[in-house]
Amino acid sequence: MKLTTLRGAGRDGRLAVVAPDLRTAAFAPAIAPTLIDAMERWGEAEPALRELSESLRAGRAAGTFDFKPLEALAPLPRTYQWLDGSAFAAHGELMAKVFGIQNPQSERPLMYQGMSHQFLSANEDVPFRSEADGIDFEGEFGVITDEVPRGTTAAAAAGHIKLIVLINDWSLRTLAQIEMKTGFGWVQAKPACSAAPLAVTADELGAAWYEGRVALPLHIWLNGRKFGAANGREMGFSFGELIAHAAATRSLCPGTVIGSGTVSNENYRQIGSSCIAERRAIETVDEGSPRTPYMSFGDSVRMEAVGPGGETVFGVLEQCVVSSPTYTTI
């Protein structure tokens, strides 16, 4: 099942089910007006949404309309909790090496709580105050959970994964360095993320939903040139393990989004990277200093995860970074 959110009266948008062929969609107001509402009572909402999905497939759903991915908002335009991991060992080891820090990733997952009151849509321009902040993208997979009781084990956590998403976790690297040294994590360095148009159930991935990981290549283009195609299969911790880590001392609310961190593979020199910081780290190791600049205003990044038949799985994220020195409202 594929879900999307379109513009609606409120801040949470309007939930729609998308047909398997992505051509049509239908709103589901009688089932759940918004995705956050569906997450809060997923047990009853899911079967009804799946029934609507089946009707769409069969061409017998009422009130269908053409699905236009460019009009989609983020699946959850806002939610109450975004916990982002850094679960790819290749990335963690490389960054630790370059920054001369001990890599603490081996024993327990790395995770921070990020901004969740706004997820940008996949095609809107992304405003930043200054290029000097070190504007970078991070391509990563994420999962959306229902309510997860405190103390849930990694094995049980897998059952709380209800939807899978694709996220661009915008990062400001100059600020990240400053904030990381405080031990308090990131606030200024991590503004709103962007999200691809479709949130899909695990069965949509088939065999690519592999041991709690998204075993798909994440293709990334920077200004139209291929930048990376790392596969989510090499995630060092599964999403179930990340959820269990998050839920060790707190219950997770329905609609919690858990991120994988930058998708990264051992053969990053061949396959490329999912963020500029990783490429700069490789350049530093290989050449003594970084060569690839962070993003400038006007630069664009495109991300897409594709299935075995070349089909899009979450839709396309394609965005331009723009200057916004003045006030913006949300």
Query: What are the backbone dihedrals phi and psi of residue 202, each rounded to the nearest 5 degrees, phi first?
Result: -60, -35
Q: How far apart are CA 201 and CA 166, in angstroms?
A: 12
Member of 67, 88, 119, 128 binding its own copies (CB under 8 A): 128
Of 13-21, 51-59, 111-119, 137-145, the segment contacting its own copies by CB under 8 A is 111-119
Among 245, 279, 280, 302, binds its own copies (CB under 8 A): 245
Contact with its own copies (CB under 8 A) among 26, 39, 90, 133: 133
Span 72-101, contacts to its own copies by CB under 8 A: 78-81, 83, 86, 101
d(CA 23, CA 263): 29
In the bound state with its own copies, the residue whose beta carbon lies nearer, of 104 and 293, is 104
Looking at 52, 172, 196, 316, which residue binds its own copies (CB under 8 A)?
A: 172
Q: How far is CA 43 from CA 33, 160, 164, in A?
A: 15, 11, 17
Among 27, 88, 112, 294, binds its own copies (CB under 8 A): 112
Residues 259-318 that bind its own copies (CB under 8 A): none
The closest of 71, 77, 87 to 37, measured between CA atoms, is 77
| Contact between residue 271 and residue 282 where contact means Cβ atoms under 8 Å apart | no
DSSP string covering 29-85: TTT-SSHHHHHHTHHHHHHHHHHHHHHHHTT--TT-EE--GGGEE-SSSS-S-EEEE
The residue (of 22 and 187) whose beta carbon lies closer to its own copies is 187
Is 180 a binding residue for its own copies by CB under 8 A? The answer is yes
Q: Select from 144, 173, 164, 124 the least CA-distant residue to 255.
A: 144
Residues that bind its own copies (CB under 8 A): 11, 40, 78-81, 83, 86, 101, 104, 108, 110-118, 128-129, 133, 147, 149-152, 172, 175, 178, 180-189, 191-192, 245-246, 248-253, 256, 324-330
